[in-house]
Amino acid sequence: MKYQAYILLRDSLISTHRIKILNNLLEPLLIIVVGLIVGFILVAMYLPLFQLGGGVI
């Protein structure tokens, strides 16, 4: 009985540790992806304005 509880606790701790490692690896990647999406939207919004202003001069 105690051995089964030990195995269950050990497996739970191992999976929790793996989730923390995966989270630490994915966090910078997600920040970069969100930054690229925001940058693309900003360029898509401002590029026509700059082209319109450049055509007037």
Residue 5 lies inside a defined structural domain of this protein: no
**Tokens found for residue 44:** 């898509």
Q: Encode burial over 7-46: b for 16+ CB neighbours within 10 A, e otherwise.
A: eeeeeeeeeeeeeeeeeeeeeeeeeeeeeeeeeeeeeeee
> What's the total number of domains in the chain?
1
Query: Which residue matches tokens 């007037």?
Result: 56
Residue 35 lies inside a defined structural domain of this protein: yes
pLDDT in tens, 13-42: 888 988 999 999 999 999 999 999 999 999
Q: Which domain holds residue 26?
A: 16-53
Residue 9 lies inside a defined structural domain of this protein: no
Which is more confidently placed, 7 or 33?
33
Residue 44 lies inside a defined structural domain of this protein: yes
Residue 1 lies inside a defined structural domain of this protein: no
Residue 34 lies inside a defined structural domain of this protein: yes
Instruction: Tell whether the model's pLDDT for residue 50 goes beyond 80.
Output: yes
Residue 28 lies inside a defined structural domain of this protein: yes
Predicted pLDDT at 56:
62
